[in-house]
Amino acid sequence: MLRRGLCTVNSMIKTSALNVFEKSCYHKIDFKINEDAPVKDAVTRFTAFNIGCLAVTDKNDKVVGVCSERDFISKVASCEKDMKEIKIKEICTYTPIIIAKKDDSLETCMNKMMFKDIRHLLVVDDKNEEFIGMISIKDLIKEIMKKNHDVVTRLSDFKIGKGAYFGSE
C-alpha cells in the first residue's frame, strides 16, 4: 500500500512547464501582443486579465520578445510618457528571451527565473520551436504548494492508519 502512495508522490514531482501552463491564467487568454500596438493596449490587458507579461510578436506573428509590467513602469510610467503614443517595441525586451521547454521541470523553470531575475517564462515546444504558452513565478509557487500539501496529507493519513492507498478523499 505504501508503494502506491509513493508512486503518486513521484508522479507529482515530475510536473513539467507544460503542465503548469495548462493550469495557468495564461492558458485561457491570448498572451501575445503585436510590437506595433500602443503600450495602452498592453496595460489594458494586464489589468483585464490580471497578468504581468505578454509575448511580443512581429508582423508575421512570430514571438520576438516580452513586455512586462516592469517594462511599463520603468520605461513609461516613471518617465511620465504618454502610453497612447509609445509602441510596445519601444519598451519591450527583445532577444535573448529566456524560455522554458515544455518538458522542463519546476526546478529548472525556477532556476531560470532566479538566474535572470524574471517573473515570467515563455513555454516552447522544442520539436517545432513554437511558443505554446507562458508561465509566471506565481504559477510555479502554486504548483509547489499543492505538491507539498499532497505529500503532507498522504504522510498524515499514513500516520493515523489510513495508509497511503486510500488517502483523504
Asked whether the predicted pLDDT for residue 4 surpasses 80, the reply is no
Mean residue pLDDT of the chain comes to: 85
Q: Is the pLDDT score of 47 beyond 60?
A: yes
- The pTM score is 0.76
CB count, 10 Å around CB of 98? 15
Work out the average pLDDT over 16-42.
Answer: 94
Please give the grid coordinates belonging to residue 4.
Answer: 502506491
Distance of alpha carbon 32 from alpha carbon 92, whole angstroms: 12
Give residue 10's pLDDT band: very low, low, confident or very high (50, 70, 90).
very low
Strands (E), 47-140: 53-57, 63-68, 93-94, 99-101, 120-125, 130-136
| Structure confidence by residue, pLDDT tens digits, 48-79 | 999 999 999 999 999 999 999 999 999 998 88
Give the pLDDT band (50/70/90) at residue 25: confident
Q: Which residues, including other chains, have CB under 8 Å from residue 62's CB and lie 6 or more apart?
A: none
Average pLDDT over residues 124-147: 89
pLDDT value of position 155 = 75
**Rounded-to-integer distance, Cα 60 and Cα 133, Å:** 18
Domains in the chain with CATH codes: 2-166 (3.10.580.10)
Residue 31 carries which DSSP code?
-
SS3 91: coil
Set of cell numbers at residue 159: 500516520
Residues 89, 11: Cα–Cα separation, whole Å: 41
Contact 51, 33 (CB under 8 A): no
Minimal CA–CA distance to 134: which of 43, 22, 15?
Answer: 22
